[in-house]
Amino acid sequence: MAEQETIRVACRVPGGMKICKWKPGFDDGTGVKTTIRDGEVLQLRGPVYNGGTLDRDGVGLTPGETEVPADWRFDEWLSANHQNPYVAEGLIFIVKDEDDRQ
């Protein structure tokens, strides 16, 4: 069996965080559409996972890294969450090469 393709995701949130994707659900009769979790929840490792250090604002100097299955489509999650402060401020990002970690 072939090894599953993955991408590396870096997270500077000290304790890491759980993320998931959502899809539109059904109309509950009130005109408000619900949302349903779409797929598995991912646990992103933060700097503390690897014994990393934090700056005085509590942000990880060396991000934690998590191998995410390529078919989870993390790039789509980033696009959908571009206004999330963690994404907008560069605390969660895809690692493409060694220079991206800094």
Q: Is the pLDDT of residue 22 over 80?
A: yes
Q: Express each pLDDT in 64-87 by its tens digit.
A: 899 999 999 999 999 999 999 999
In this prediction the pTM is: 0.77
How many alpha carbons lie under 13 Å from residue 6 in its C-beta half-sphere?
A: 10
d(CA 4, CA 33): 35
Examine the pLDDT at 100 and tell me if it is beyond 70. Answer: no
